[in-house]
């Protein structure tokens, strides 16, 4: 079985695959102070609840956009699962795509993993929108190559910034308001964030397609993707497990005997 680890700025997702079957998926907040042992004890207990044992895991793969977490996650894989992890972005890891950027080393591992999975599942050309700590728009050509994209502040980050910077604006939860014109402060803030992001999505997608010069399928992923996928027709597919499926695909491409 494969343990796939997606370490983002806000959460770390752990998933176990048996072949193509997703046997379990768990998440915890990203905290660089948590040790490999703390993560190991926590994860072992969750595996047990699902009827799995840590000795069932014979391969591991990590994608992280938080450099400080990589050491702890590598140690976790080695100590608790007897596996030398494959780390997306390390030298020699084959992604099966070209990174057509001026500075390829700056691309987040999660964006490349999404590109791998999206091309395999939907061909291309594609735009992948990931609703995470940041909202990213990634462009993949028909051959599966990563062509760049755009990065905007995430929805929750924008809400927090609005609350922190304006004394009279409260902290509000994201939601889809019925009306665009808010009749009180909270509905007005929710409208500005929600419908503002819908306009951001539609505007950037249109401009990317115009610049790329062809029609493109749009795939949405990330925690808040379901909320926005129903709000605009420009999103053609909702894929909650895109990053995890990308990790599975990369592992298969780089398969090697487990280190025990």
Q: Tell me which residues are annotated as active site.
A: 110
Across 30-50, b (16+ Cβ under 10 Å) vs e yields beeebebeebbeebeeebeee
- 167 annotated as belonging to a binding site for a ligand: no
Q: State yes or no: 243 annotated in a binding site.
A: no
Measured distance CA(105)–CA(44) in Å, rounded: 34
**Strand partners of residue 22:** 17
Is 156 one of the annotated binding-site residues? Answer: no
Which residues have CB under 8 Å from 193's CB, separation 6+?
155, 158, 159, 162, 174
- What is the CB neighbour count within 10 angstroms for residue 234? 20
Q: Is 241 annotated as a binding residue?
A: no
185 has binding-site annotation: yes
64 annotated as belonging to a binding site for a ligand: no
Of 122, 139, 121, the C-alpha closest to 209 is 139
Any binding-site annotation on 196?
Answer: no
> Does 40 appear as a known binding residue?
no
Q: Is 109 annotated as a binding residue?
A: yes
Residues in the chain: 260
Q: Which of 29, 228, 206, 216 is nearest to 130 (CA)?
A: 228
Is 129 annotated to bind a ligand? Reply is: no
110 labelled binding-site residue: yes
Question: Closest Cα to residue 5, out of 53, 47, 63?
Answer: 63
How far is it, in rounded angstroms, from Cα 143 to Cα 133?
28
Is 79 annotated to bind a ligand? Reply is no
Residue positions forming the annotated binding site for K(+):
130
Residue positions forming the annotated binding site:
6-13, 108-111, 130, 133, 185
Residue positions forming the annotated binding site for substrate:
108-111, 185
Residue positions forming the annotated binding site for ATP:
6-13, 133
């Amino acid at each position: 079985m494969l343990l796939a680890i997606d370490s983002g700025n806000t959460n770390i997702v752990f998933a176990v695959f048996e072949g193509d079957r997703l046997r379990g998926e768990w998440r915890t907040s990203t905290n660089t102070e948590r040790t490999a042992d703390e993560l190991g004890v926590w994860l072992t207990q969750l595996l047990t609840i699902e009827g799995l044992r840590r000795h069932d895991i014979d391969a591991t793969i990590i994608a992280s956009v938080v450099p400080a977490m990589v050491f702890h996650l590598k140690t976790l894989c080695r100590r608790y699962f007897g596996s030398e992890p494959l780390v997306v972005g390390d030298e020699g890891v084959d992604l099966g795509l070209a990174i057509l950027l001026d500075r390829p080393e700056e691309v987040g591992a999660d964006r490349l993993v999404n590109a791998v999975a999206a091309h395999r599942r939907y061909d291309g050309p594609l735009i992948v929108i990931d609703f995470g700590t940041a909202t990213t728009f990634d462009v993949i050509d028909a051959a599966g190559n990563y062509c760049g994209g755009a990065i905007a502040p995430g929805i929750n980050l924008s809400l927090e910034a609005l609350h922190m910077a304006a004394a009279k604006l409260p902290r509000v939860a994201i939601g889809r308001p019925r009306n665009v014109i808010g009749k009180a402060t909270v509905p007005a803030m929710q409208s500005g964030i929600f419908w503002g992001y819908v306009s951001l999505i539609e505007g950037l997608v249109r401009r990317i397609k115009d610049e790329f010069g062809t029609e493109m399928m749009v795939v949405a992923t990330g925690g808040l993707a379901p909320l926005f996928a129903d709000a605009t027709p420009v999103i053609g597919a909702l894929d909650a497990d895109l990053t995890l499926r990308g990790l599975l695909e990369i592992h298969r491409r780089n398969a090697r005997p487990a280190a025990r």
